[in-house]
Amino acid sequence: MRELTLPISEADIRALHAGEIVSLSGVVVTARDMAHKYLVEHFIHREPASDERALYEEIRALLRNGGIYHCGPVMKRHGETWQMVAGGPTTSSREEEYADSIIEHFGVRVIIGKGGMGGRTKSACLKHGAVYLHAVGGAAALIAQSVKEVTGVWKLEFGMPEAMWQLRISGLRLVVTIDAHGRNWHEEIANASEQVLQSLLAELGG
């Protein structure tokens, strides 16, 4: 099992291959639908507004060579600090229309989620040197144990699940399912399954 730490270099990302199990540490940022839409519409499709310039610089600095986690966490507040109670992955295909632009603009190296992503994300990973890491669904409490600290939050006004939480994780185990060499395990498994299905249907029909 390969150990990875964020921020991470393009060379280290391109050394990974689909099917590898990795242990990830460092700071990741959670982002779901509202956060992805906000990043694209406010910072990529136009110049940041003057009152958002400082926030843009903060986000860009953390995402550069960093990671986004498709997650809508459950958080508990203790005074001025937050603790993650549950943090299972969100279905990543919902962010397919945004991911390639965000990878390119912010220099994101790692996307974490469940269910895989499509051709636009695969192409962006190949071109810019990024990977998709599959997290286990249904293990929200277990994943939360890998979160050692909530270091900050952006856009809390979006609501708890949609806010951009900054999480310092340690030893989170994940599987590389889209690599920077053009392989997408989710597509390959779907295609192989379809071939088996068609073969069985042909036998039944014959």
pLDDT tens-place string over residues 58-67: 999 999 999 9
For the stretch 74-120, pLDDT in tens is: 999 999 899 999 999 999 999 999 999 999 999 999 999 999 999 99
Q: What is the pLDDT of residue 196?
A: 57
Residue 76 domain boundaries: 2-205
- CATH number assigned to the domain comprising residue 80: 3.20.130.10
129 residue type, one letter: G
Cα separation, 35 vs 108, in Å, equals 15
Number of domains in the chain: 1
Using a pLDDT cut of 90, give the percent of the chain over it: 83
Global pTM reads 0.91
pLDDT at 197 > cutoff 60: no
Confidence of residue 153 (pLDDT cuts 50, 70, 90): very high
Strand runs labelled E in the chain: 2-5, 21-30, 67-69, 74-78, 81-86, 110-113, 131-134, 147-154, 164-178
Confidence of residue 134 (pLDDT cuts 50, 70, 90): very high
Q: What is the pLDDT of residue 195?
A: 64
**Catalytic option among 17, 36, 45, 134:** 36
Q: State the DSSP string of 133-191.
A: EEPPTT-HHHHHTTEEEEEEEE-GGG-TTTSEEEEEEEEEEEEEEE-TTS-BHHHHHHH
Annotated active-site residue 78? The verdict is no
